[in-house]
Amino acid sequence: MESLARRFGTPLYVYSANHITQRLELFQLAFSSLPHLVCYAVKANSTLAILQMLACRGAGFDVVSGGELERVLAADRAAAERIVFSGIGKTAAEMDLALRSGILLFNVESEGELELLSERAAKLRKRAQIALRVNPDVFTETHPYISTGMREHKFGIDIRRARAVYRKAGKYLEPCGVSVHIGSQIRSAEPFGAAAQRVAKLIADLRRDEHPIRFMDVGGGLGIEYHSDRPFDPEEKVRQYAAALMPIVESTGGLTLLLEPGRFLVAQAGALLARVLYVKKNGEKTFVITDGAMNDLIRPALYQAFHEIVPVAPRRSSRRAPADVVGPVCETGDFFARDRELPALQPGELVAILDAGAYGMSLASNYNSRPRPAEVLVEGKRARLIRRRETIEDMLAQERAEALL
Ligand SMILES: *Cc1c(COP(=O)(O)O)cnc(C)c1O
C-alpha cells in the first residue's frame, strides 16, 4: 500500500482482482444447478477494467443508463447479449442504443415507458425482450435511500397491476420475464425469498394469459458486513441467498434466473488510500484531516455509512482514542468517520478506508474542484493503473468562458 501510494499518489482506490473474481464464482457456483446468469450491477463500480475482467468470466451486466451500456460495450462488445437494462427514466435515445445493440432484456418500469419502447422498437424494426419490473411491496431493513421495493417508492409497477400492463406490449415487444429489485445492502435472505414468491405467483398468472415467461430477474441487493468485528462469511451468505431463491425458481419451472449483484461482488475488494494532512484539536475533539474527501467517497455523508479505517503502517502501541476522520471539503458532512476509536495518527501517514470498492469511485465527483482519484487493480504481485488521476486540465477542458473586455 505504501509503495502504491508513492507510485500513484493519494487519494487512491486500490482493488483486488482475485477478490472480485472469487465473489463472482461464489455466485456462479451457488446457482450452478439452475440455468442462470449473473448480471453484475454496473453502477456499483463501472470502471472499464473491472467490467472487462467480469465479462471475461462470463458475467452479464445490469445497466441503468446509456452511459453504462456504452461502458459495457467498450469493455466487451460481445457482452451485449448478456445485458439487462433497468431504470425508471430511459430516454428514447437510450432505448435506441439498447435496441441496436441487441441486449438481452429491458426491465420496463412504467406504462409510459412500455409505450415509448414499443414505438422505438417499431421505428427501428427491432424486436425486444421485455420484463416488467414489479414493485412487490416487500419491507427491507436497510437505509431508506436504498430501499426500493415498497409501494411508496418510485421503482417498478405495482405488482397488482402488472398483469394488465403485460397485455399492452405491442407486437415488437416480447414479454418474457418478470423482474424485481427490492433494495441494496440487505443482510437477510428472507425478503428476497418473499419477493421471489410474489413474482412466482405473477409468473403463473402471466403464463395462464399465454405470455411465455422464461426469465425471473431477482435484482441485486445482497449486503455485506462493513464492521470488521462482526462475523461475516460470504460463502454462507450466498448459500442462504440461493437457498431462499432456488426452490421457488425450481417449482415454477422453465425459468432462467437473472441475478444482479453489485455491492457483494466489489465492495470488499477495494480500499480508498488517503494520506493524513493534519491532526488538529478543537476543544475536546480530535480531527484527522486527510487528502481524501466526500467527493472521493460519499457513502458516509449520503447514507451515514460505516467504513473501517486502518493505519497502513504497523503500530507499536495499542492505545486508541476517539477522532473524526474528515476531508478538506467545505461541508460539515465531509467525514469518513465520527468519534471513531483509532490509534494515534500522524501527518504524512497513510490510512486505508476499507470496503470502498462499491459505490465509491462510481459516485465520486469534482465538488470543490477536486480532481477524482486514480484507480489501481492488483493482480497477484502486479499492480496496474486502470484509471489515471484526473487533472485540473481534464476538468477545465469541458468549460468555456468568454474573456470580459
Ligand atoms: C443498484 C441495483 C442493483 C445492485 O444493487 P447492489 O445492492 O449493489 O447489489 C441491482 N439491480 C438494480 C435494478 C439496481 O438498481
Q: Please indicate, yes or no, if residue 106 is contained in any of the structural domains.
A: yes
Q: Whose CA is nearest to atom 3 of ligand 1?
A: 220
Contact status, residue 234 vs residue 261, Cβ threshold 8 Å: no
Q: Which residues are catalytic?
A: 330
**Can you tell me the distance from the alpha carbon of 53 to that of 105, in angstroms, rounded to the nearest whole number?**
22
For 222, phi then psi, to 5°, come to: -65, 125
Same domain assignment for residues 367 and 352: yes
111 and 71 within one domain: yes
Tell whether 92 and 163 lie within a shared domain: yes
User: Into how many domains does the chain fold?
Assistant: 2
Instruction: Find where cell 436497510 sits.
Output: 142
> What digits encode the pLDDT tens for the residues 59-71?
999 999 999 999 9
Residues 73 and 171 in one domain: yes
The CATH number of the domain where 179 resides is what? 3.20.20.10
Cell of 147: 430501499
Could you tell me the residue range of the domain that residue 162 belongs to?
31-261
pLDDT, residue 152, reads 79
Q: Are residues 278 and 231 in the same domain?
A: no
156 lines ligand 1 (CB under 6 A): no
Virtual torsion, Cα 303, 308, 311, 316, nearest 10 deg: 140
Final residue before a domain boundary, out of 261, 284, 314:
261
Is ligand 1 within 6 A of the CB of residue 140?
Answer: no
Looking up residue 382, the CATH number of its domain turns out to be: 2.40.37.10
The answer to the question of residue 398 being in a domain is no
Pairing relationship of beta strands 256-259 and 36-41 according to DSSP bridges: parallel
| Nearby residues of 151 by Cβ (< 8 Å), 6 or more positions away | 135, 137, 158
Model pTM score: 0.96
Place of cell 476531508: 327
For the chain, 405 residues long, give each residue's pLDDT as a single digit of tens. Answer: 999 999 999 999 999 999 999 999 999 999 999 999 999 999 999 999 999 999 999 999 999 999 999 999 999 999 999 999 999 999 999 999 999 999 999 999 999 999 999 999 999 999 999 999 999 888 888 888 777 778 778 888 989 899 999 999 989 999 999 999 999 999 999 999 999 999 999 999 999 999 999 999 999 999 999 999 999 999 999 999 999 999 999 999 999 999 999 999 999 999 999 999 999 999 999 999 999 999 999 999 999 999 999 999 988 888 999 999 999 999 999 999 999 999 999 999 999 999 999 999 999 999 999 999 999 999 999 999 999 999 999 999 999 988 766
362 and 232: one domain?
no
- 114 and 246: one domain? yes
Whether residue 395 is contained in a domain is answered as no
Considering the domain architecture, whether residues 325 and 348 belong to the same structural domain is answered as: yes
**Atom number in ligand 1 closest to CA 223:** 7
CA 26 to chain centre: 17
**Pocket of ligand 1 contains residue 43 by CB under 6 Å:** yes
Report yes or no on 23 lying in a domain: no
C-beta atoms surrounding 209 within 10 Å:
12
Best of 20, 62, 264, 362 to mutate for ligand 1, by most ligand atoms within 8 A of CB?
62
User: Same structural domain for residues 222 and 128?
Assistant: yes
Single out the residue in 213, 238, 261 at which a domain terminates: 261
- Check: CB of residue 257 under 8 Å from CB of residue 178: no
Report the pLDDT value the prediction gives residue 405, as an integer from 0 to 100.
Answer: 64
Count of C-beta atoms within a 10 Å radius of residue 73 = 19
How many angstroms is it from 218 CA to the middle of ligand 1?
Answer: 10
Q: Is 394 helix (H, G, I), strand (E, B) or coil?
A: helix
- Same-domain status, 183 and 278: no
Does 22 reside within a domain? no
148 Cα nearest atom in ligand 1? 15
Instruction: Rounding to the nearest 10 degrees, give the CA dihedral for residues 216, 240, 148, 358.
Output: -100
Q: Are residues 54 and 169 in the same domain?
A: yes
Task: Note whether residue 339 is domain-resident.
Answer: yes
Helix/strand/coil for 380:
coil
